[in-house]
Amino acid sequence: MIKSYKLRRGLANTFIYILLAILGFIWICPFIYLLMHSFRAEGVTVVNYLIPREWTFQNYIDLFTSHGTLNFTKWFINTFVVACFSCVISTISVLMVSYAFSRLRFKSRKKFINVGMILGMFPGFMTMIAIYYLLKAMGLTQTLVALVICYSAGAGLGYQISKGFFDTIPRALDEAATIDGATKNQIFWKIILPMSKPIVVYTVLTSFIGPWTDFILAKIIMGDKRDYYTVAIGLQLMIDLDFKTQYYKQFLAGSVVVAVPITLLFLKMQKYYVEGVTAGGVKG
């Protein structure tokens, strides 16, 4: 009986591992193709073979040194600035809202939580036209400030995971600090946050990745203002019919460059990211 169970379990695990390996290979193939052809020297657009016949770093050099019609360097800086400011504001906003809902008891608390959850169910692109006209009325369209406002203004609605994490921290710590004379503000900054590294890292990553990869909202706000484009819009422009012949290989190199910061961040903070998600899903 035991041997039969071990045999079935072994066969099942083998099948699962083979299936996952096949799916993983299929998933990673486009990235391998992208990486290889970002170093391709021959041809200007798509070629009919998989492995490049000539290799060069010139595509990456041209990407950052060619400041003609399409300026990738400026777009990269724009995106980095917007993502950093949005990340800081969004992280603080999410954590403060989460702490308030988790620890504080006030009138209409449950109603605010429910309203926040309902609003979070609607996709963001439903409000894009309204956001555009509001920004236009304030004279903020086609500016990087507008992007920072859009990415960070409603960030507090994503409080669910962080609130769930704060719920797992014993309230006895708050009570002990209160007895010692600490205020709610001091408890949050000096006690709760230092103990919440996983959820802080999770919030930082999600707040940074959103602005870094967004295309639709940035495209609507920026319009034809190329100097303020982000990398997502810029890369899409590189494969436009007017520029594809000249910039296709730079587009491949740019796609690799854009993925590097997020990949490094995730690899560096993966441990805390997983802890934050799992702990935040326990309660709340």
Confidence bin at 116 (pLDDT 50/70/90): confident
- Segment 110-136 mean pLDDT: 82
Select from 262, 273, 267 the least CA-distant residue to 200.
273
The pLDDT, as a whole number, for residue 19 is 94
pLDDT digits (tens, 9 = 90+) for 201-233: 888 888 898 899 888 888 888 888 888 899 999
pLDDT exceeds 80 at position 124: no
3-state DSSP of the chain? CHHHHHHHHHHHHHHHHHHHHHHHHHHHHHHHHHHHHCCECCCCCCCCCCCCCCECCHHHHHHHHCCCCCCHHHHHHHHHHHHHHHHHHHHHHHHHHHHHHHHCCCCCHHHHHHHHHHHHCCCHHHHHHHHHHHHHHCCCCCCHHHHHHHHHHCHHHHCHHHHHHHHCCCCHHHHHHHHCCCCHHHHHHHHHHHHCHHHHHHHHHHHHHHHHHCCHHHHHHHCCCHHHCCHHHHHHHHCCCCCHHHHHHHHHHHHHHHHHHHHHHHHHHHHHHHHHHHHHCCCC
The pLDDT, as a whole number, for residue 83 is 93
pLDDT exceeds 50 at position 283: no
pLDDT digits (tens, 9 = 90+) for 15-72: 999 999 999 999 999 889 888 988 988 877 878 888 888 888 888 988 888 777 788 9
pLDDT digits (tens, 9 = 90+) for 129-176: 888 888 888 888 888 999 999 898 888 888 888 888 888 888 888 888
